[in-house]
Structure 1
Amino acid sequence: MAASTAKRRHRVRRRADMSLLGGIRPPIAVLSVLLLALAALSAFFLGRVQDEGQSKAVLTSQQHISEDGAIAMRASLDESITDLTRAAGLLNAADPVPADAALDKLGNVYQKWLGTAVLEIKSGKLLAARGESLPLTVIDRAKLSEEDGLAPRMVRLKSGETRLLTFAVLDWDGRPQQLLVASSALKFPGVSLGDFRAIAVIDQSGEILSQDGVAEPEQLLTDAQREEAEQTQGQLKAFAAQALKKSRQHPVTSKEPGSGGFLGVSGSLVGDSYRGDRSVGGYATLAAPEAGGSTAATSLGLTVVSLVKVAETPSIVGSPAFGLAAAAALLVVGGLAVALLLGTVQRPLLRLFLEGRRLSRGDLARPVTVPRYGEAARIGAALERLRRQLLGEPAGEQAGGKRSRRTRIGSRTLIALCAVLLLAWSAPLVLLLNRAGESVVVPQQIVNDQRERTDTLSDRVRRALNEGHADLVSVASLIGDRTRPEEMTKVLQRTTAEHNRYSSLYVLGTDGTVVARTGAKPGAAGQGPSEEAVRLRSTEDTTPVVVGTAEIPGRDGAAVVGEFRIDFLNSLLKRPGLGDIRLVDGEGRVIGGNTGYRAFQDLPADRLRTLVRGSGQKVGMSPRPSGILYRDSGDIQIAASAPFTGGGAAGELGWSVVSWRPAAGLAIPEYSMQNRTVLAGLLGVTGAAACLGWLHIVVVRPLRHLTGQAEALADGDRKTVLYPRHHDEVGAVTRSLELLRQSLQAQPRKRDGEKTLAGRN
């Protein structure tokens, strides 16, 4: 019996020692560490915010401009390669034609190539040529049958210019195979440069293949102009060397985790200062539209580099004194909160733990030291009553000391008081201090870049519609030789397989009869072909329908009609760093967008509608892009509008692309200071909520539950077994009360045994 009692006491002592690893101490210790770390961060990062002549927002904008150039060049090159391959496929599917006729058909549909030629593969004889002379001697005809034999390649002309040669095979039964060759310049289609910007494309050796926006020094008149042009040229070469080194990274490791956006390698560059202006720029590699994919253009290993000169305007916001004051205030407030938790919650609970263990071991000589406040005071009073009961006093208030009076100040009140103290430090940081008001300085370069990027995006949408219409013209010229619907359908299916821009493609007769079709249900059935090349069909549906029409030669007005997928247009509008983007028609109605929108609705603000009208669409002026900075009671917004300019089938639509974004999302010193301040306040709120919530769940709730059990036990409840919830201080007190309950339950049996033994004696 004695041995089992010793084992039980040893088990209780071991569990009591284990409780010290958890319980009330970890949350208070973690809270102390978090407050110290936050005070250190506040001292170092809540003070002065400055830039080195250019804000990070300007550098990020140059990175986005290079990404736009890379996307435009990749799309243009891939489109050119696809068009040549598809045109050759359509020619192969038709009756054989002479080489001159093939090039004439190609030139009537597409005007994108600088030169085209057809040569016989076996003999190497040139059969026909159009445009500039092509360096056909660089073509190794023996390797054309290999897997990559028809892959596009870059060649250097004697003039120093670089051309991209694209190949396709013309193969008709009964004729020798012929090679169709087209040359393209490595130029940036539709990239708006604005003023004082240069852009170039470099190869894998860092050599500049083509450039725009840089004047040749020998063509300038004054010495100052020549000097500036030479400096720009030298800085562009320096940027090319830097971009070559940085572009060799893996796209995943080149960006911050979760940044998303451009799928290739991109970044910003900072160059030398010249006459008070700093050369800044960006770089971006040609990347496929899908992650992990590759295209013919991306296999060329090209990189786009941009450069612009911006006036240096060093900016300093805030003072180190603010960070030091915030850190000192947090140390004071945090010290009070931690001291309150230590003095009124942790220390009384540890005292209860020691007193309960002493009583459970049988040491009843000394009275229990009862804490002053809260649940600990009530449990301590119950322990004192249990001690007297173990000494022989009967249970109940009538037979012993008074039951402790309930105190109004409990552990929950104390934790709430600590939360108020910490919130008093955090709330002003989140809501009041370091607010960026109307005095925020937004660099003019940001507004200019918003305008130029919107103009580039507008041109890309226009070119995409023009390319779609050119495909329809090519299909129409081929279908002109076919009369059977199944043959027409085969051509239409081949076209939709090569291009995902159409939701429906069909041949429409003059009476509105659909002769052949592929894709979704034709929307123009029952109506004759439209005379407009590209139009927005009037509809009561919620989805806009953009329709392209190309008349079939020699078919009495019949036409090939293609309905563009609105998702295709929306995919063109997705650009990081431009905010909300909308494609609107000539009446200002929304046709597409990069975020949620309602079709055929007006723009969300009158000032945006005014901006569209002011861009030259409705006032009889030549269309031009516009950018503006709106200030409205501290709410600063950057907006830009760019109408369709240039020729082509889509040039007459009168559409515009509009973009706007809040300036609060820019990396400007005033906003950086505000964001840091808000972040510090949120960290304080989060840390306090986490640690105090942890303390409430792990300690306070079990302690409140134990209070009722202890008072019931002191009032005479000997049947309710007390089970500890956790192996911590509260659990140790619970186990001590359970041992006391067992001792009190055994007292009557012990007294009965003593009386029986005395009677026998």
Structure 2
Amino acid sequence: MSLIGGIRPPIAVLSVLLLTLAGITALTLGKPAGVLVPKAVLTSQQYVAEDGAVALRTSLDESIRDLTNTATLFNEGQPVSADTVLDKIGNVYQKWRGTAVVEIKSGNLLAARGENVPLTAIDRSKLSAKDGLAPRMVRMDNGQTRLVILAVLSWEGKPQQLLVASSSLTFPGVSLADGRAIGVVDSTGQVLSSHGNLDTKRAQQQLKSFATAAAKKAEQHPITAKEPGAGGYTGVSGHLTGGAAQDMRTVGGYATLAAPVAGETTVASGLGLTVVTQVDVEERTAQLTRPAFGIAAAGALLVIGGLAVMVLLGTVQRPLIRLFLESRRLTRGDLARPVTVPKSGEAARVGAALERLRRQLQGAPADAEAPASRRGLGARALLAVCAVLLLAWSVPLMLVLNRADDSVRVPSQIVRDQKSRTATVSDRVRRALNEGHADLAAVAALIGDRTSAEDMKTVLERTVEDHDRYQSVYVLGADGTILAQAGSTPHHTAGKGPSTKSVEVTGEGGKTPVITATAEAPGRDGAAVVAEFRIEFLNALLGRQGMGDVRVLDAENRVIGGDAGYLAFQKAPSHLTPLLGKKDAYATVQRTGGTVRVAAVAPFTGGGEAKSLQWKVVSWQPASGLAIPEYSLQNRTVLAGLLGLTAAAACLGWLHIVVVRPLRELARQAEALAGGDRKTVLYPRHHDEVGAVARSLELIRQQLQEQRRGRDGGTRTPAGVGRN
């Protein structure tokens, strides 16, 4: 018999699967779900740490790139004094704690602004080496750590100068409300910078403990640190659980600084830094189920499954095996004993046909009266009965039992994290637009000193190449004429002069909004440098894991950008209406129409040119996607039902394909053979019980043919003799 065919394997596999599923059901659904800190809360801390790592990496990389690009622009212009360089940098950017210009050869300090830059950490003799100008981490006398960034100022005929800027390890825009703390850790586990709620000795000790654990975990490779197929953040990240005090437990997250594209590196991601966060959350036991439920469900499955298997054994397997034995007996010539005919179904039809064939082998004519056939339920009907039995167990688990209704409790920390993460994204968008305008202002300051369109075009092309946030940059004259342009074709109305707004949105009625920044070029009679932002750049800032749907809305609550699936300038979803009037970041749990979702809004706050836009960022996600106890129990219950349904469909489908369909065809062929069809050859479909019966019927057909030929030959011989 075939190992995968026949009647026995499907029934045996079904029995094993049902027993296994009963055990799984008893262990998973019968296990008391005493959850102190839901997994969703822990995962949320990981996402907060990833947000902080993204913000820090972006800030450091932008600081390095901006200083380098600014030095390049100065080098392409006329020589200026060190004070002029620092003044122009200070007017455009306010991101560095301190700046200085040093003459490389002599080491003389030519100018300085802000806090004292740690110049003693710079070896001027190694600046010409391959990594001589690479940024470096320097620990100050006060214990704080600074990132020192270097760039060379070089003009023909003048000694080379070193432009130095120091940047602190801060997290621009990361919300630290509700008692959260955040820190930067190096590869040895030392805390380089910390912010937030660290007023108590316990909080400080916990951060150090988290820092040591995070530094050790950061040694893993980003691919091996995640479960297969997890995807998500390109660096190493995870969550941490600390000690408890009374009914509060400290939880946290960690994330290494990683490039936005997997496999690539940036200057900041190569510094070996890790971001660690921590917050105290309330421990609350959620007793959702009792062991009796899982045991009862497993017991019901054993009873129903046992009944289904008994039906298959008694009405399908045993009759088919008996037919196999009876057919082999007839082929061996044992015709004395009548065939034992099964009670019903296709097996009864085949058994009745075998009995008729036995009589025909004994000499009875093919048209002799056939014995009464007991039809009853066919094999397909029996499979349907078994399917109904198994569905009676699976369907309630999938659709009825352990449902998490709209009264489900969403942990308050999840709501707070949704608010703080939305505020972080809002600030990232605002800072990105401010940064884009600041870069444009730096370009405009240098464009003002240039007269030829060719020189301006060179600067604009470098700007588009160095800053992927722009899709088009051009110099617009006061009369609306484009004097120089780089990038894609501008969305500019001919004859329209520069806008008086630093940042604005146009393009209503089109497929995408057009976000433009304008910076006046000094000394060019009202001309300005205009840049159009790529909408993809804006949308990329919104795509954060674990936040659900994120949208940027304008002052009229129309959608400007989103992480996925939106129409430009469409109205915000109606369920967000209660949130849109909030002046500060706000989050809540919405319960409408049986749907539970966590929603948050964060208007632009802080300064900069982008504040005048009065934009806001909104986010929402269904609570059903969160790993909280009620939904986890519901998911396990649904999974148990799906496993039962899958086992039933697989095994009963296997039986139908391998046994039932061939058996129905065999019954038709057996009745035709018993009715006198001696020409149709019977071929077995599978090497199993049904195939064995088919082979026996074929042998019987051949015996009947030989019998008829012998009978016909005996009657023809006398007639032949008479004619001779």
| Coarse TM-score class (shorter-chain normalised) | over 0.9
Q: Which residue of structure 2 lines up, in the alignment, with residue 663 of structure 1?
A: 623
Task: Please say if 1:92 is aligned against 2:75.
Answer: yes
Name the residue aligned to 2:586. 626
From 635, 639, 652, the counterpart of 1:679: 639
Alignment-derived partner of residue 328 in structure 1: 299
Say if 1:49 and 1:669, in contact at 8 Å, map to a contact too: no
1:355 correspondence with 2:326: yes
Larger mean CA deviation between 70-79 and 146-155 belongs to 146-155
Conserved 8 A contact 1:48-1:317:
no
Find the counterpart in structure 2 of residue 203 from structure 1: 186
Q: Which of 255, 263, 270 is residue 226 of structure 2 equivalent to?
A: 255
1:371 to 319, 342, 349: 342
Within-5 A mapping of 1:372-391: 372-391=343-362
Q: 1:281 to 1:475 in 2, by over 3 A?
A: same
In 2 relative to 1, CA 484–50 (structure 1 residues): closer, same or farther, beyond 3 Å?
Answer: same
Distance in 1 separating the partners of 2:675 and 2:33: 68
- Identify the match of residue 158 of structure 1 among 121, 138, 141: 141
* Alpha-carbon distance in structure 2 between the residues aligned to 1:237 and 1:163: 20
Q: What are the Cα deviations for residues 218-276 of structure 1, in whole angstroms up to 9, with x where unaligned?
A: xxxxxxxxxxx111111111111111122222211222222222111111111111243
Q: Please give the secondary structure, in 2, of the residue aligned with 1:724.
A: coil
- Aligned equivalent of 2:392, options 424, 447, 464: 424
Name the CA distance, whole Å, in 2 between partners of 1:143 and 1:408.
Answer: 96
The residue type paired with residue 681 of structure 2 is: V
**1: distance between equivalents of 2:169 and 2:2?**
73
Higher mean Cα deviation, 52-61 or 199-208? 52-61
- Shift, 1:142, TM fit: 3.0
Question: Where in structure 2 are the equivalents of 1:72-91 lying within 5 Å?
Answer: 72-91=55-74
| Alignment: residue pair count | 719
| CA distance, structure 1, for counterparts of residue 110 and residue 473 of structure 2 | 35
Tell me the TM-score normalised to structure 2 length.
0.96
- Cα contact 2:341–2:352 (8 A) shared by 1: yes
Secondary structure of the residue aligned to 1:317 is: coil
Aligned match of 1:541:
510
Helix, strand or coil: the match of 1:267?
strand
Which is further off, 39-48 or 358-367? 358-367
Cα deviation, 1:588-646, whole Å, max 9, x if unaligned, reads: 001111120111111111x4122011x12xxxxxxx10111122354221111000000
Aligned pairs for 1:115-154 within 5 A: 115-154=98-137
Q: Contact (CA 8 Å) 2:474, 2:484: kept in 1 or not?
A: yes
RMSD over aligned CA atoms reads 1.7
Residue 462 of structure 1 pairs with residue 430 of structure 2: yes
Cα shift readout 1:479-515 (whole Å, capped 9, x = no counterpart) = 1122222221211111111111112111111111111
CA distance in 2, matches of 1:675, 1:738: 53
Percent of aligned pairs sharing the same letter: 65
Cα distance in 2, alignment partners of residues 460 and 21 from structure 1: 60
Q: Deviations over 1:439-466 (max 9, x none)?
A: 3222211111111110011000000001
SS at the partner of 1:449?
helix
What secondary structure, in the 3-state scheme, does the structure 2 residue paired with 1:316 have? Answer: coil
- Partner amino acid for 1:611? L
* CA apart distance, 1:404: 2.6
8 Å contact 1:514–1:525 — kept in the other structure? no
Partner Cα distance (1:544, 1:568) in 2: 12
1:515 matched to 2:483? The reply is: yes
Instruction: Name 1:300's counterpart in structure 2.
Output: 271
1:257–1:215 distance in 2 versus 1, CA, 3 Å: closer
**Contact kept? 1:588, 1:609, Cα under 8 Å:** no
Contact (CA 8 Å) 1:370, 1:381: kept in 2 or not? yes
SS at match of 2:158: coil
Aligned equivalent of 1:621? none
User: Letter of the aligned partner of 2:212 in structure 1?
Assistant: A
Instruction: Encode CA deviations 1:528-564: one digit per residue, 9 max, x unaligned.
Output: 1101110111532121111111111111111111111
- More displaced 10-residue stretch of structure 1: 200-209 or 166-175: 166-175
Q: What's the offset of the Cα at 1:400?
A: 4.1
* C-alpha contact (below 8 Å) 2:345/2:379 kept by paired residues: yes
Q: Distance in 1 between matches of 2:376 and 2:70?
A: 88
1:36 aligns with 2:35: no
Q: 1:589 aligns with which of 558, 563, 571?
A: 558
Give the letter aligned to residue 153 of structure 1. R
SS at match of 1:50: coil
Per the alignment, residue 568 of structure 1 pairs with: 537
The residue type equivalent to 1:524 in the other structure is H
Higher mean C-alpha displacement, 737-746 vs 314-323: 737-746
User: Can you give the 5+ residue segments of structure 2 that lack an aligned partner in the other structure?
Assistant: none
1:112 equivalenced with 2:130 (yes/no): no
Q: Which amino acid aligns with 1:443?
A: P
- SS of 2:222's equivalent? coil
Q: Is the 8 A contact 2:554 2:614 kept in 1?
A: yes
Counterpart pick for 2:443 among 465, 472, 475: 475
Q: State the Cα deviation string for residues 688-741 of structure 1 (Å, max 9, x = none).
A: 111111111111111111211111111111111112222222211111111111
Residue identity in the other structure for 2:400: L
Deviation at 1:346, TM superposition (A): 1.2
Give, in whole Å, the separation in 2 of the partners of 1:740 and 1:400. Answer: 19
SS of aligned partner of 1:90 = helix
Residues 1:648 and 2:608 are matched in the alignment: yes
Amino acid at match of 2:69: R
| Paired residue secondary structure (2:580) | helix
Query: After TM superposition, what 4+ stretches of structure 1 lie above 4 angstroms from structure 2?
Result: 752-760
Moved more, 64-73 or 482-491: 482-491
Contact 2:423 2:585 in 1 (8 A): yes
Moved more, 357-366 or 107-116: 357-366
Partner of 1:608: 576
Q: 1:67 matched to which residue of 2?
A: 50
Q: Per-residue deviation at 1:478?
A: 1.4
CA shift for structure 1 position 88: 1.4
Q: CA deviation at 1:145?
A: 2.5
5+ residue gaps, structure 1: 1-17, 217-228, 617-623
Instruction: Identify the range of structure 1 (238-247 vs 151-160) with the bigger mean alpha-carbon deviation.
Output: 238-247
Structure 1 residues 164-313: aligned runs within 5 Å:
164-215=147-198, 229-313=200-284
Answer yes or no: is 1:446 the counterpart of 2:414: yes
Asked if 1 retains the 8 angstrom alpha-carbon contact of 2:352 and 2:371, the reply is no
Match of 1:524 among 492, 496, 507: 492
TM-score by length of 1: 0.92
CA distance in structure 1 between the partners assigned to 2:329 and 2:306 by the alignment: 32
Q: Secondary structure at the match of 1:557?
A: coil
Task: Describe the shift of the 1:208–1:20 C-alpha distance in structure 2 as closer, same or farther (beyond 3 A).
Answer: closer
Q: Match of 2:36?
A: 53
